[in-house]
Chain A
Amino acid sequence: MISESAKGIGIGIGFVALLIGLWELLGARGGVALTAVLPPPSQFLGTIAESGFKIGLGAQAAPVWDSALSTLGRVFAGMAVAFVLAILTGALLSLSKVATWCLRPVLHILAPIAPIAWIPTAIVVFGISNMTAVFIVFMGVYFVLTIATLAEIERVPAEYLTVAENLGASPAERWVSVVVPAILPGIFMLLRTNFLAAWMAVLVAEMVGLRDGLGAIIMMGRNLFNNELIMFGMVIIGVTGFLVDKVLALIGARLLWWRS
């Protein structure tokens, strides 16, 4: 017997393959305007393969993997910093009611600002550097995660803390061994849902400011009127994002094992 989920994955792969086949068919017939702008995989992969998967002009050419790695590095650095700082902020705020009353409205005002809106400011402050990208990812994730941390802390059953106090845990020990494990799964789940926002923010930053990364490939393709390059960049972005989401889901399953 094949399990329901394996069946679902199989059908999903089959359907994607069917779409690619259709796309190839349209491209092979030629004369279709759409495939001139959106060249099928056999064409754009062929073109890129000719240059050994290196992108750029002359000596500046770098393998596409470098671009993917620098984009991923920026996203993960920003998300990791935001994750840790959000938990620390939540912890500090939960210790003081006054601090929470003061800062909660600030968080709620800053949270809806799209990370992309921070790009001009970030470029002025940090220049064109990795810091800019990390900062933008951070701004896109940090506020939402801090609000979530506060909500999660409020949701921790009072009994958990009473039991720990009763058994002799100091306030700091209660934090480390009760509150943190209790809130971690919820916050991580939110981190995963916010990955897409962070991912898009960094791509936009790479398009408008930075000169490398996956976003820059798209801009280079645009400047060179190279549709193959644009298409290749889009596919790499899509596939990488998909893979990262799956990796995060796996990590989440490890962290969330007890919620199943």
Chain B
Amino acid sequence: MKDAAPARTALGAVPEAAVARRDRTVLKAERVSVDFKVKGGETFRPLQDFSIDIAEGEITCILGPSGCGKSTLLRALGGFLRPEETGGVLWQGRYLTRPNTDIVLIFQENNLYPWLTARGNVGFGARYRMGRAERRRRVEDMLARLGLSEAADRYPHQLSGGMRQRTAIGRALVSDPQVLLLDEPFSALDVSLRRRMHQLLLKIWAETHKTMVMVTHNVEEAILVGHRVVVLGGPPAAITRDEDTRAPSLKDRYHRDFLALQKTLEDAIY
């Protein structure tokens, strides 16, 4: 008899212990340096010898002032940039050299293809990976889970901002990647919509336990959504704070612990 593994995809079936573990690193940045050529032959180096471990099944939020290299870090984690010299991003024991379908990046804007409907956008990646019937089933299921069934035949310009971001999330999730990278996904949304998107993201996490890395400049968002909040200074990016934010008192916007941490982090950033 072997032990039954906890059912990780069913909502609510995950024991607290599984939530709290930080034992397995899935994605590891190892002394990553990234150079950008700027006009006039100079180079700009947002990342220099930067290292971070991303734990499996955890939501890591990355905070930092504008231009500190946090978006560059996110792109490096997805294999979208070619790191310079030594070091790199380790994924399943190998250095990433190009993007792959297991690590999916969601942008803040220009996310959706304007010539496809919400349904077409959600199914975009799936068309390269599965048969027609399977794709159809998964797309309809994803649309329903994200509350987009009614709007499935609309084009992006006919969708609200929240619907657009939900469609982008659906497209990323439909082929079941292992890691989601989110680059300020909700910063264009108003406060109430943003809070609903936080709930949705946490619901998705509860159902799937995906590893997520989210870059944001909203401290409140980072503490409420993240299991771990990393504050970057720079450029070049350097970790100035690394907080465990899983305590229930940090999920209450008016709790003194939450407010205290919010102040500490804001002071660290600005």
Contacts and interface: CB of A to CB of B under 8 A. Distances in A.
Contacts of B109: 159
A159 B107 contact: yes
A166 B110 contact: no
Interface of B: 78, 80, 98-101, 103-105, 107, 109-111, 113-115, 124-125, 127-129, 155-157, 171, 175
A163 B107 contact: yes
Interface in A147-180: 157, 159-160, 162-170, 173, 177-178
Given A162-B80, A162-B99, A168 B175 contact: yes
Contacts of A159: 107, 109-111
- Most chain B CB within a 10 A radius of its CB, from A165, A170, A182, A259: A165
B104 A166 contact: yes
11 contacts: A160-B113, A162-B105, A166-B80, A166-B99, A166-B125, A167-B171, A167-B175, A168-B101, A178-B113, A181-B115, A258-B155
A168 B125 contact: yes
B114 A167 contact: no
A178 B114 CA distance: 10
A166 B127 CA distance: 13
Contact of A166 (B101, B113, B129): B101
Contact of B125 (A160, A167, A170): A167
A177 B103 CA distance: 21
B21 to A, nearest CB: 28
B63 to A, nearest CB: 23
Given A166-B99, A181-B115, A258-B157, A157 B128 contact: no
A167 B113 contact: no
A260 interface: yes
A259 to B, nearest CB: 7
A55 B110 CA distance: 57
Chain A interface size band reads: 20 to 34
A101 interface: no
A159 B109 CA distance: 8
- Most chain B CB within a 10 A radius of its CB, from A165, A167, A173, A182: A167
B154 to A, nearest CB: 11
A225 interface: no
Contact of B104 (A167, A170, A178): A167
A173 B128 contact: yes
A2 to B, nearest CB: 26
B27 to A, nearest CB: 15
A182 B99 contact: no
A181 B113 CA distance: 9
A169 B98 CA distance: 13
- Most chain A CB within a 10 A radius of its CB, from B78, B104, B111, B124: B124
Interface in A234-260: 257-260
B114 A168 contact: no
A184 to B, nearest CB: 8
A29 to B, nearest CB: 57
B264 to A, nearest CB: 34
Contacts of A157: 110
Nearest to B129: A168
B120 to A, nearest CB: 10
Contacts of B101: 166-168
A173 B125 CA distance: 11
